[in-house]
Amino acid sequence: MSKEKKMMEMQTEVLFKIDKLKRITGLNEHKDTAGPFLFIGRTKTGNVIRFDRTISEIEKNEILTQVDNLDLGKIILNLNKIRKINSIWLGPAFSFPESFNMTSDAIKITNENQDLLAEEFSNLMSEIEWKQPMYVIVRDGKAVSVCSSARISAAAAEASVETSPSYQGQGYATRCVISWANEVKKLGLQPLYSTAWDNFSSQSVARKLNLYQYGIDLHFS
C-alpha cells in the first residue's frame, strides 16, 4: 500500500468510529454523533472508501460504480439519485513531514490554566480532557488562538485550530499548530491536518508549515 493510502486509512480511524466490517458507526468523539453516510478519501494512488451501516449492499455496489469518476459534479448528481445528500464537505488532507522541527512559544492548556479560554473559547473548557494536547497563544491576558486535537486514535491525532477574529492574520494559529504537532509526535502519534477548500486561512497555515498533501477528503451526509 502506498504512503498516501496508508495515511488516508489512518485518517479514517481518527475521524470515525469504525466497526469490524470497516463501516462508519459515528464520529470519533466521546459523545455519540452521527457520521456521514459516505466518506471518500482520494489519493493519487487510489481511493479509501467508508460507508455507514445504513447503506445496503445494493446501494454500496451502485455507489462504487460512481466514485472512480473524476468529475465531482457527476459523482454528486449520481450519488443523490442513490441516497439523498443533505450536505457535502470537501477539502485537502495533510500530514507533517518526519523532519518537522519547528518550535513555538504557545502555552499548553491544562486544568490549572483553563481560565485562559474563558473569554474567547469558553466552549472548549468542558472539552479539555478530550482535546489534548491543547495549545494557545495568549495576548491581553487571554487565549486568542488555539490548536487542539479534534479527534484522536491509537495511531494519530487530527488538528483543530481557531483564532479569535480580532487577532487573525498575525501568525498565531501557525504557532499553536507547531506546539500541538510537536507534542503529538512526542506521544508517538502521527499529527494530521485537514481543512475545507473554502477555508483559505487554514490552508495558509498548512503552506507555512510545509505540510504534505496526501489526499482529498469528501464527506457526504
Same domain, 8 and 86: yes
pLDDT score recorded for residue 66: 78
Same domain, 73 and 20: yes
pLDDT score recorded for residue 31: 86
* DSSP H helical ranges for 28-138: 57-64, 72-82
Last residue of a domain, one of 43, 74, 95: 95
pLDDT score recorded for residue 95: 97
pLDDT score recorded for residue 120: 97
Query: Is residue 206, in this structure, part of any structural domain at all?
Result: no
Query: Is residue 208, in this structure, part of any structural domain at all?
Result: no
Question: What's phi and psi for 131, nearest 5 deg?
Answer: -115, 20
pLDDT score recorded for residue 70: 64
Same domain, 111 and 88: no
Same domain, 52 and 18: yes
- Residue 171: which domain range? 107-193
Three cell numbers at 137?
Answer: 497563544
Same domain, 81 and 114: no
Same domain, 43 and 90: yes
pLDDT score recorded for residue 166: 95
Strand, helix or coil at 205?
helix
pLDDT score recorded for residue 44: 92
Nearest to 180 by CA among 115, 117, 96, 116: 96
Rounded to whole angstroms, how far apart are CA atoms 111 and 157?
Answer: 21
Residues of the chain predicted below pLDDT 50: none
Last residue of a domain, one of 46, 73, 95: 95
Query: Is residue 26, in this structure, part of any structural domain at all?
Result: yes
Same domain, 87 and 111: no
Same domain, 91 and 120: no
Last residue of a domain, one of 95, 115, 141: 95
Rounded to whole angstroms, how far apart are CA atoms 27 and 46?
Answer: 23
- For the entire predicted model, the pTM comes to 0.93
pLDDT score recorded for residue 220: 95
Q: How many domains does the chain have?
A: 2
pLDDT score recorded for residue 69: 67
Cα dihedral 17, 23, 25, 26, rounded to 10, equals 60
